[in-house]
Amino acid sequence: MGQARTIGALDTGPAIGVDIGGTKVLAVRLSPAGEVEAWAKLRTPVRAGDVIETVLVGVAQVTEGASERSSTLPLGVGFPGMLDRNGTAHFCPHLHSVDGMDLRQLLAEHRDPGASTVVLNDATAACWAEHSVGAAQGFDDVLMVTLGTGIGGGMVVDGRLLEGAHGFAGEIGHMVIDPHGPPCPCGKRGCWERFASGDGLGRLAREVALAGRLDCAVKAAGGDAEAVRGEHVTEAALDGRPEALAVMKEFAWWLALGLANLSNVLDPSIIVLGGGLIEAEQAVMEPLRDAFADLVEAPEARRIRVVPAQLGEKAGAVGAALLAAQRAG
Amino acid sequence: MGQARTIGALDTGPAIGVDIGGTKVLAVRLSPAGEVEAWAKLRTPVRAGDVIETVLVGVAQVTEGASERSSTLPLGVGFPGMLDRNGTAHFCPHLHSVDGMDLRQLLAEHRDPGASTVVLNDATAACWAEHSVGAAQGFDDVLMVTLGTGIGGGMVVDGRLLEGAHGFAGEIGHMVIDPHGPPCPCGKRGCWERFASGDGLGRLAREVALAGRLDCAVKAAGGDAEAVRGEHVTEAALDGRPEALAVMKEFAWWLALGLANLSNVLDPSIIVLGGGLIEAEQAVMEPLRDAFADLVEAPEARRIRVVPAQLGEKAGAVGAALLAAQRAG
């Protein structure tokens, strides 16, 4: 359990948020003012039957010693996949075991009648957090893009969360941007996340490494070009190695292409980039902004800020908690 | 001036709508119940200075003999391009002469103080009409796609028009779907409208014709494969010619690809297809629905209807009038 940290000043009442990731689970307790009063990290269970139990353990850890009973507090849970508006999981590529489960109902059975229980997509939850208390505070039209193994998305339109008719909005990583591109586990070819995610950067870096033009990263990967991953190239780029910077520039172009597509559709005022990759901010943001201005329609007539996320790994849990609190009333 | 036609039953009060197209201008007067009581068609002027005058002529024609003075009635005008939320035109590829003009202000100068005057993108206006009184009535999450020379887009999210932070939402035709594809006048390569518009169908048909596999359309084009246009192949497809049906199937795949991308982002409950091309409905809709189900994420977990528009060429004018009336209050 970690230290309290102030992340903003709301007045939504106390709430609990849990974010289920592919490998770890993060739980937070928010104060009535929207501050993270306590947090805990657990390992994501492999078996579907253990997911609900893990959420409850996280909830118990962050409410230990709190004055309110945890089963009455608003609870929001973010999952990595497609959840419908009733809270049933439909397609969770990194947690397939929960597909088909009515997660909201399964959680509600452990809670007081009438307690607010919200489940939703993790990137959608993270977007709500960045909009409410993070990098997009004060902006009503927000696009959040999380770059991890794949790409997650969340959107705020006119100050309201865009969830979609079925709850599936924000599957931006599966926007096809090159039908002749590499195959995607989803069954299509050339999905954006094949190019612009952490996996995409690794693929791009290996192509360049195999062509003999990325020796610094090959060295970092133990001399094997096939073992080059995204981290190796971002580290080399942060060291200022020109061949790594060239790879980052190409990566940034693919990232910008998808951001421009989404901006042409949605016209946001701010784009928030989250996920581990953005920690290599210096190497990504500058070429990204240049390419984005080239690719979006009418850049001279509008201002779209492109900024890194502020809430880090807690964004999903915080956003889920905030939504549960706001929907409790 | 045409006959009155009932298109729905609203109660927004009387209003006037004008839709400025690349070649023609269409004006309508709506009854308090949202019926088209009168309409008129004019030619789009070439000179920017004449655009406002043409709108006023259209307004005068549809209000001739009406009981209210036209300068007090709510007036909505749809333009083919990017207009900001204040009503200034920024990028109108088919009417470049108005770029930079504050169209709302120029119109307001000819109207009574306080009269509702709204200007917006034509496809956004058409979407609002189909949502309010057309094919998407009763649906809160709508994607409207108009297939003409290019592709226009409009979106309704949770029952509200999605206009974007600057008013530029819906530039869906410039979503890049193949960076190695044909160049677009916008400066990029492989924009969706290079493949899935009327122009895109013509390009695809000419490729096939030049390869000697579309003789029926070449004949219809006077024996010149370079002269084949979209109409030639849709007509041949409606006649059941297998080689034309094969071209329509490929065209439908590209159309479906973009619709799937947008559905993955927005998760609508209904997609409304408008524009001249959709009049060849039988030849497009069936292969389109098949390809769409293949390309969208989790088709088994949601229902997204794909339907032709109902309001035809009057959609833009009707939608602009409805919005002006609704914003008058």
Q: What is the pLDDT of residues A145-186, one digit of tens each?
A: 999 989 999 999 999 999 999 999 999 999 999 999 999 999
In a domain, B115, yes or no: yes
Q: Which of A323, A316, A322 is nearest to A81 (CA)?
A: A316
In a domain, B182, yes or no: yes
B268 contacts in A (CB within 8 Å)?
164-165
The DSSP call for residue A183 is B
Q: What is the pLDDT of residues A209-228, one digit of tens each?
A: 999 999 999 999 999 999 99
Q: What is the per-residue burial (b if ≥16 Cβ within 10 Å, else e) of B200-221?
A: bbbbbbbebbeeeebebbbebb
Give the DSSP H or E segment for B296: none
Residue A97 is predicted with a pLDDT of 85
Query: CA-CA distance, B128 to B122, in Å (whole number)?
Result: 10
Give the DSSP H or E segment for B127: helix B122-133
| Residue A7 in this model has a pLDDT that exceeds 60 | no
Residue A13 is predicted with a pLDDT of 82
Query: CA-CA distance, A137 to A144, in Å (whole number)?
Result: 12
Q: Does A298 touch chain B (CB under 8 A)?
A: yes
Q: List the single best residue of A264, A270, A292, A300 to mutate versus B (max B Cβ within 10 A).
A: A264
Q: For residues A125 and A202, state if they share a domain.
A: no
Strand order across the B75-79 sheet: B36-43, B24-30, B15-20, B75-79, B117-121
Residue A176 is predicted with a pLDDT of 98
Low-confidence ranges of chain B (pLDDT < 70): 1-10, 329
Q: List the single best residue of A175, A189, A295 to mutate versus B (max B Cβ within 10 A).
A: A175
Residue B266 is predicted with a pLDDT of 98
Q: Does B291 touch chain A (CB under 8 A)?
A: no
In a domain, B236, yes or no: yes
Query: pLDDT-derived band of residue A108, with 50, 70 and 90 as boundaries?
Result: very high
Q: For residues B214 and B156, state if they share a domain.
A: yes
| Residue A251 in this model has a pLDDT that exceeds 90 | yes
Give the closest of B167, B170, B267 to A166, CB-based. Answer: B267
Q: For residues A305 and A319, state if they share a domain.
A: no
Tokens encoding B76: 């909505």
Q: For residues B254 and B117, state if they share a domain.
A: no
Residue of A nearest to B152 (CA): A265
Query: CA-CA distance, A143 to B13, in Å (whole number)?
Result: 37
In a domain, B183, yes or no: yes
In a domain, B10, yes or no: no
- Overall size of chain A counted in residues: 329
Q: Measure the N-to-C terminal CA separation of chain B; round to a whole number of Å.
A: 29
In a domain, A168, yes or no: yes
Domain count, chain B: 2
| Residue A6 in this model has a pLDDT that exceeds 70 | no
Q: For residues A67 and A30, state if they share a domain.
A: yes
Q: Classify B61 as helix, strand or coil.
A: helix
Q: For residues A146 and A289, state if they share a domain.
A: yes
Q: From the centroid of its chain, how far is CA A226? A: 27
In a domain, A227, yes or no: yes
- Percentage of chain A lying above the pLDDT 90 cut: 84
Q: What is the pLDDT of residues A57-79, one digit of tens each?
A: 999 999 998 888 999 999 999 99
Q: What is the per-residue burial (b if ≥16 Cβ within 10 Å, else e) of B157-185?
A: beeebbbbbbbbbbbbbbbbbbbebeebe
Q: For the residues A260-281, what does the mean pLDDT come to?
A: 92
Cβ distance of B165 and A267 shorter than 8 Å: yes
Tokens encoding B49: 């200075």
Residue range(s) defining the domain that contains residue B94? 15-131+313-326
| Residue A4 in this model has a pLDDT that exceeds 70 | no
Query: CA-CA distance, A321 to A34, in Å (whole number)?
Result: 9
Cα dihedral A65→A70→A75→A77 (10° resolution): 70
B157 contacts in A (CB within 8 Å)?
157, 162
CATH of the domain at A301: 3.30.420.40
Q: Does B266 touch chain A (CB under 8 A)?
A: yes
The DSSP call for residue B240 is T
Q: Does B257 touch chain A (CB under 8 A)?
A: yes
Q: For residues B121 and B151, state if they share a domain.
A: no
Q: For residues B63 and B157, state if they share a domain.
A: no
Residue B276 is predicted with a pLDDT of 81
Query: pLDDT-derived band of residue A10, with 50, 70 and 90 as boundaries?
Result: low
Q: What is the CB neighbour count within 10 angstroms for residue B113? A: 7
Query: CA-CA distance, B134 to B274, in Å (whole number)?
Result: 11
Measure in Å the smallest separation between the Cα of A68 and chain B Cα atoms: 35
- Percentage of chain A lying above the pLDDT 70 cut: 97
Q: For residues B62 and B142, state if they share a domain.
A: no
Q: For residues B119 and B161, state if they share a domain.
A: no
Choice between B281 and A40, residue whose per-residue pLDDT is larger: A40
Q: For residues A51 and A87, state if they share a domain.
A: yes
In a domain, B64, yes or no: yes
Q: For residues B127 and B109, state if they share a domain.
A: yes
A170 contacts in B (CB within 8 Å)?
265, 267
Residue B139 is predicted with a pLDDT of 98
Q: What is the pTM of this model?
A: 0.95
Q: Does B89 touch chain A (CB under 8 A)?
A: no
Residue partners of A70: CB distance under 8 A and separation at least 6:
A16, A59, A60, A63
